[in-house]
């Protein structure tokens, strides 16, 4: 009986402690979860101070502190951008952090739009910079690069000339459209560029990330492909395509190739796209070039650069002098100066090195 009495007393104490803890956490609001020193996005409350990792936020009001999203925080008076990042000289050993005041941002109306974008009652923001838009109220984020409002679409916060923001949409990483135009988008030096595709809008279709067509023309990277026949145009593989008259490697016509018998080698899967091999009934092709010296019936791919046939071994279409086809083998990577060998020699980039 005495044991049961102590047991119920213990249960009562534990229950009271649990209820008190829950009430305390609830009363202190969202940021008070940091009281237990469990960081949220790197922020921790310590007594009456907010810390960002090891930095004290001295001018931030802890009572109204709020994490907006993964890029912004605010209090009743100010809005800040924050981030952690690494630099090359100590990339693996140190993580840098910083926070920046957004001058003239309005805390009460400041809201996140996602992907590093936000807005308040008068301004659009990307990270720590303001940018101009035509219609702030309708501003919508499509991804890190593209946003739009009801009037205009924007790439990297710059207006896309002639675009209709209300109907603008991304079709893929490389194509976009609105009610009037199709666009081709491509990254250049870390930035996206966009250009209007001059096409028949109603019949335009995207084939893959580089090819598209309408009823009259074929396009590569948004540029018309000369002489290509739209009605019979089709992809082959590994950058090759064809119509009834011609074969194309990317945007270059493969001269004298036969579209009917043209096909690619499965070994191209291991070439990393730098060198691609194909054949037709008449010959062997490397990218857009005819490999005239190669024998079609005995041609063999050894790796992305070495090939052979009954007549010898080749390095990038040039015959390797005195190489023995029967004993020739390539290395999976350079071993010293050599990337291949036969019974007589070792070779580096098609030349004898030993």
**What are 19-63's pLDDT values in tens digits?**
444 444 444 334 444 444 556 899 999 989 999 999 999 999 999
- Asked, for residue 58, whether it belongs to a domain, the answer is yes
- β-sheet bridge partners, residue 72: 81
The total number of structural domains in the chain stands at 1
Q: Per the confidence metrics, is the pTM higher than 0.85?
A: no
- Asked, for residue 33, whether it belongs to a domain, the answer is yes
- Asked, for residue 94, whether it belongs to a domain, the answer is yes
Mean pLDDT score, 269-283: 88
Instruction: State the SS3 of 112-138.
Output: EEECCEEECCCCEEECCEEECCCCHHH
Tens digit of each residue's pLDDT (9 = 90 or more) over 169-187: 999 999 999 999 999 999 8
CB atoms within 10 A of CB 154: 24
- Asked, for residue 209, whether it belongs to a domain, the answer is no
Angle at 301 between CA 300 and CA 304, to 5 degrees: 165
- Asked, for residue 227, whether it belongs to a domain, the answer is no
Mean pLDDT score, 276-297: 96
Tens digit of each residue's pLDDT (9 = 90 or more) over 70-124: 999 999 999 999 999 998 888 888 889 999 999 999 999 999 999 999 999 999 9
- Asked, for residue 335, whether it belongs to a domain, the answer is no
Q: Which SS3 state, helix, strand or coil, does residue 8 take?
A: helix
CB atoms within 10 A of CB 349: 15
CB within 8 Å of 253: residues ≥ 6 apart:
226, 227, 246, 247, 288
- Asked, for residue 256, whether it belongs to a domain, the answer is no
Q: In which domain, by residue range, is 49 found?
A: 26-131
What is the C-alpha separation between 266 and 262, in angstroms, rounded?
13
- Asked, for residue 178, whether it belongs to a domain, the answer is no
Cα Rg for the chain, rounded, in angstroms?
Answer: 32
> Quick check: 106 and 121 in contact, CB under 8 A?
yes
């Amino acid at each position: 009986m005495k044991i049961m009495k102590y047991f119920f007393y213990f249960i009562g104490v534990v229950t009271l402690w649990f209820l008190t803890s829950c009430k305390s956490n609830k009363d202190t609001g969202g940021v008070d979860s940091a009281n237990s020193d469990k960081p949220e996005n790197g922020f921790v409350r310590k007594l009456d101070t907010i810390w960002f990792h090891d930095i004290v936020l001295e001018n931030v009001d802890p009572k109204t502190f709020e994490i907006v999203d993964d890029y912004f925080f605010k209090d009743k008076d100010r809005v800040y951008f924050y981030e952690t990042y690494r630099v090359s000289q100590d990339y693996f050993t140190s993580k840098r952090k910083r926070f920046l005041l957004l001058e003239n941002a309005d805390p009460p109306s400041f809201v996140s739009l996602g992907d590093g974008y936000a807005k308040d009652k008068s301004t659009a923001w990307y990270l720590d910079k303001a940018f101009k838009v035509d219609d702030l109220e309708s501003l919508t984020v499509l991804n890190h690069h593209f946003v739009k409002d009801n009037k205009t679409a924007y790439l990297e916060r710059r207006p896309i000339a002639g675009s209709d923001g209300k109907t603008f949409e991304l079709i893929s990483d490389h194509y976009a459209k609105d009610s009037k135009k199709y666009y081709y988008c491509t990254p250049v030096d870390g930035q996206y560029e966009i250009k209007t595709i001059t096409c028949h809008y109603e019949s335009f279709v995207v084939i893959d990330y580089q090819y598209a067509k309408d009823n009259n023309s074929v396009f590569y990277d948004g540029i018309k492909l000369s002489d290509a026949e739209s009605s019979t145009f089709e992809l082959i593989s590994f950058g090759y395509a064809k119509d009834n008259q011609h074969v194309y490697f990317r945007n270059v016509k493969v001269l004298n190739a036969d579209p009917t018998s043209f096909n690619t080698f499965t070994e191209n899967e291991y070439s990393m796209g730098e060198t691609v091999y194909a054949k037709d009934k008449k010959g062997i092709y490397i990218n857009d070039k005819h490999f005239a010296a190669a024998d079609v019936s005995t041609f063999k791919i050894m790796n992305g650069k070495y090939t052979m046939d009954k007549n010898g071994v080749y390095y990038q279409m040039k015959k390797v002098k005195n190489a023995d086809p029967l004993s020739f083998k390539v290395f999976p990577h350079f071993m010293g100066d050599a990337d291949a060998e036969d019974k007589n020699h070792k070779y580096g980039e098609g030349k004898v090195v030993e």
